[in-house]
Structure 1
Amino acid sequence: MSIQKYVKFATKSFALPNVCVRLRELLDNPRSTAEDIGNLISIDTSLTAKVLRLANSSLFRFPSQIESVPKAINVIGGEALYNLVVSETASTAFTCFDSELIDLKKHWHGSVYSGMLAKHIALSAGVKVAERFFVMGILQNLSELVVAKRSPELYQEYMNSDKSQLPFEHQKQLFGFTFAHCSGIILENWNLPIGLFYPITNVNDVSRQASDREVGLLALANRIAVSQLEQENYANIELFTPEIANTVTVDMEMVGNATDYAERETVKVAALIK
């Protein structure tokens, strides 16, 4: 099945909640105020509670408590707030594509772990609005659920194969695309910002890894996640390929700090979003 058919299946099966669409419109409108944004979020009390919990979590580590959405906007900024809302939406999307072939709880944990790693790596590299990488880490393997739901037999073949290749290499060989590439196109079709979908779409493109720092950072985070989450098969994979090393100014001490951070905080943050 072509990548376009999986994208079409995903976009027909799940649409971004209206709050995501409206929030994006408000952020892109220079006439919008923090009060406008706060009023939009506050309509949904459950979303408000989750956003405030995340704003007060280890994702930001602010010294004082954030008690309201307007304060969250003033402290973390509108784009960071948008990323938190998209993160919360991700858990709903994951549930929509639930498959008996995938342990959804384990998949969610791995996705949040990847997001925590990516965010910390981006912070270490001095990237602004680093929680955007948290969202990218979560969403990059969304299409794995889509593929398992739409093509269970082919996905089962993928799972039963040997682990001599890295996951993204085997995905490319079997499906003709990587899960990250398919996820990126889905996110583009959901009209998410280019700063979210572009690095995901191109994360396994070695030429982009060598020329685009954000792609390189996300690729490094992915390799760390694979080495940590699937140690039995991939514990000793190369993290700093020549292409990644060309654009990423992160050392092994920073990698160790990011791994410690993700190990320590993933369960807590995953529980806040669900």
Structure 2
Amino acid sequence: MRMTPLQYAQNVEKLCVLPDIYIRLKEIMDDEQSSLTDIASIIMLDPALSSSVLKIVNSALFSYLAEIDEISKAVAVLGINEIHNLINTYGVTTAFSSVDENIIDMDRFWEVSVDTALLCKYLAQKKNIKNTKSIFVSGLLHNIGELIIMQTDPKKVQYCQDYNQDETPWLRQKEVFGFTYADCSTALLTLWELPQSIISPIRNFNNLNKEDTSEAADLLYICTRLALLNSHPGMYSKKTFINKLILQKLDISMEELDEAINFCNIEGIAIMRALKLNN
């Protein structure tokens, strides 16, 4: 009998535990009485998190003119929404920091995930797409389901990695599991009570048949395909691989896709280092 996405997520929830600093910060950020000063004081207790926040706030993701070298200033400049996004990113990625790299290439996994996140962020800003404040995090975590299933069925995950130009990763995942990795991502992030603004695009981006998909889900659809193209040069044709109707819906041109790829190729390594996702 096949396992469901929720069953896979429940299994891994016992193995991959959210860090204590994340849980403490989530409690504070969920408390309407908490201030930015309260949040900054907790972040400063964790050197790794403090370092990540400072590197990211000074990266091309935000492009501030002056260098920011204090957590209190970073929190004040970023604001509650961006800090919340960074905390969610830190919590989930840290929970999966001890994954067995003998099964999949973790550097490659995170490279594609970061590419997706950067592409989403770039295009959302360039096209002024609404309701996409959390889209960077959605892009980064959309495929975390692969790491979830890997804990239980590593051989099936390895089989799903052997897709070729005649099929897509998502088709092979559905063949093996009856669902995609994104469904597992959705299940675990829901169990961990991440915001629906992060989860909803992940839940819906593969459902092209839904007429009511959000702009965030449509954007994530485009960027997951674009990141795959970028990681496998020549395997797929950009003109046929990405649905033209979705591009038209968001008013994104082929030239703008190329601009987005150039941006993520330049900034990807820096963001991976900021998030400590590479060795």
TM-score (normalised: structure 1): 0.91
- Give the aligned partner of residue 239 of structure 1: 242
User: Distance in 2 between the 1:208 and 1:268 partners?
Assistant: 36
Residues 24 and 129 of structure 1, relative CA distance in 2, 3 Å threshold: farther
- Give the aligned partner of residue 184 of structure 1: 186
Residues 28 and 149 of structure 1, relative CA distance in 2, 3 Å threshold: closer
For residue 156 of structure 2, the aligned residue among 146, 154, 177 is 154
- Give the aligned partner of residue 20 of structure 2: 18
Q: CA deviation at 1:219?
A: 0.5
Asked whether the 8 Å contact 1:211–1:247 carries over to 2, the reply is no
- Give the aligned partner of residue 267 of structure 2: 265
More helix by share: 1
Q: Deviations over 1:172-209 (max 9, x none)?
A: 12211111121121111111111111111211111347
For residue 61 of structure 1, the aligned residue among 56, 63, 68 is 63
Q: RMSD across aligned C-alpha pairs, in angstroms?
A: 2.1
User: Distance in 2 between the 1:102 and 1:182 partners?
Assistant: 17
Asked whether the 8 Å contact 2:163–2:169 carries over to 1, the reply is no
Which amino acid in 2 is paired with 1:239? I
Q: CA deviation at 1:87?
A: 2.5
Q: Deviations over 1:112-150 (max 9, x none)?
A: 111111111211231468562222222111111222231
User: Distance in 1 between the 2:59 and 2:130 partners?
Assistant: 18
Which amino acid in 1 is paired with 2:202? I
Whether 1:172 and 2:174 are equivalent positions in the alignment is yes
User: Distance in 1 between the 2:241 and 2:160 partners?
Assistant: 23
SS in 1 for 2:67: coil
Residues 155 and 52 of structure 1, relative CA distance in 2, 3 Å threshold: same
Residues 246 and 154 of structure 1, relative CA distance in 2, 3 Å threshold: same
User: Distance in 1 between the 2:163 and 2:237 partners?
Assistant: 18
Q: Deviations over 1:229-273 (max 9, x none)?
A: 12242244432343x246423222321211110011101111121
For residue 54 of structure 2, the aligned residue among 48, 52, 55 is 52
For residue 90 of structure 2, the aligned residue among 72, 76, 88 is 88
Q: Deviations over 1:156-175 (max 9, x none)?
A: 33234554122112211221
- Give the aligned partner of residue 70 of structure 1: 72
User: Distance in 2 between the 1:211 and 1:160 partners?
Assistant: 30
**Any gaps of 5 or more consecutive residues in structure 1?**
none
TM-score (normalised: structure 2): 0.89
Asked whether the 8 Å contact 2:222–2:247 carries over to 1, the reply is no
- Give the aligned partner of residue 34 of structure 1: 36
Q: Within 5 A, what are the aligned runs for 1:215-226?
A: 215-226=217-228
Percent of residue pairs bearing the same amino acid type: 29
- Paired residue total: 273
